[in-house]
Structure 1
């Protein structure tokens, strides 16, 4: 199954539209609309602006790329997972707009658009394009599959990822809110303060946490 989620696009784009006015979550005051914000909300109702956005601070991490702050946090998290004896790797992180064109088109050709929209984001609507999302794997045969939830890697991440600023982005049973099937491998960086506040809240999804409402389908 595809992940909602690496090659950089050829040209840099502005982090947000020239005249865009950032929208904030009323409860926390964080910016959830600017493409360059660590807390930007990206889903089927909220594309990146501009859709060709390229993060300005991408850094290499184990053969992939993430924004600098997320990369540092991910490196610390992977180090601590491995120190606990867990064999874990990153299977996907930043994806450019052009890469997502190819990824999405592949799943449309493979499964049809209705199914593709449940497992892969359309270009400009993918969290991977923000440089703040990563997919974990452990090579046990369940990579990018729901059974990954049963692995030590997934269980460790669910229990501890918020300490590093990551949250499980597409939880089980929340497709009617997030728009995507369960992805126990896909973690999104929002920063430690936001991640821990999210984990302590009653919210089941970032949509609920930031009050943006469900985004099950494209508008």
Structure 2
């Protein structure tokens, strides 16, 4: 009897231990659940402020804007002024015609040459001075209207293509010829608009003396990056004796872009 009762007690203790073990596991799981529930409730009522990361600046956004070209002084934009600055970005109006065109007799290739009166007077004096030294200056072109310049330009484009033509001839509206202050010279020994003109007696004389009469070599050698045009030893432009002499003293190949400090 004692042994049987002891077994019963032992079995009861085992069952009790199992119930206690099961209850403990349940309590632990319940506690863990309550912890997670508490965290969830706190997170719901206390949301974390998240600051989005600043986007990396794109190349397009970080690129510096192209600086605006500073407007030129009025005396450099007035097409009636002998100081006017004309290049591939500074044009003259299509309908502009100089108010004081003159047509004195010049030793030319055949056409009547017109120039702004002041430029014509100084060209005449320069040609007389050259003739006194047995140098014959032959004028190929002076004033050229917008429409005529357009015809010349299209002819060059058809022969050379636009890229090459734009290096040796101005587009209509972007030519100093339209202002009556540019002169193209020629020679019996060379074709018109040839770099070989620089090696002729006339070309050498002009290079050395044109500034004395207010003329400058407008498109010097090795200055294409500044002027936008190839070397044109036949193309001279009137700017008045004062400025022409100042430029020559600095350098015979000084460009107007450099003299006027025009940024390219």
Contact persistence 2:127–2:136 (CA under 8 A): no
Residues 143 and 103 (structure 1 numbering): CA distance in 2 closer, same or farther, change over 3 Å?
closer
How many residue pairs end up in the alignment? Answer: 187
1:33 equivalent in structure 2: 77
Residue 123 of structure 1, CA deviation: 0.7
State how far apart, in whole Å, the 1-side matches of 2:95 and 2:224 are.
26
* Alpha-carbon contact 2:101-2:116 (below 8 Å) kept: yes
Show CA shifts across 1:81-140 (max 9, x none): 111001221001110001011011111111111111111111100111110000112211
Deviations 1:19-42 (A, max 9, x none): xxx933xxxxx8211111101010
Secondary structure of the residue aligned to 1:159 is: helix
- Structure possessing the higher radius of gyration over alpha carbons: 2
Query: Which of 248, 252, 258 does residue 208 from structure 1 map onto?
Result: 258
- Relative contact order (C-alpha < 8 Å, sep 6+): which is higher? 1
Report the equivalent of 2:40: none
More helix per residue: 2
Greater strand content = 1
In the other structure, the counterpart of 1:107 is 156
Q: In 1, Cα distance between the equivalents of 2:75 and 2:96?
A: 16
Residue by residue over 1:129-181, the C-alpha shift from the partner in whole angstroms, topping out at 9 and shown as x without a partner, is 11000011221124320111001111111111111000000000111111111
| 1:170 match: secondary structure | coil
For 1:49-198, list aligned pairs within 5 A.
50-61=93-104, 62=106, 63-198=112-247
C-alpha displacement of 1:204: 2.0
What TM-score do the two structures reach when normalised by structure 2? 0.68
Q: Aligned partners of 1:204, 1:99: CA distance in 2, in Å? A: 29
The two structures, once aligned, show a CA RMSD in angstroms of: 1.5
Tell me the distance in 2 between the aligned counterparts of 1:66 and 1:53. Answer: 14
* Maintained 8 Å contact 1:133/1:186: yes
Structure 1 residue ranges without an equivalent (≥5): 1-21, 25-29, 215-219
Q: Structure 2: 5+ residue runs without aligned partners? A: 1-70, 107-111
Between the aligned partners of 1:94 and 1:178, the Cα distance in structure 2 is: 20
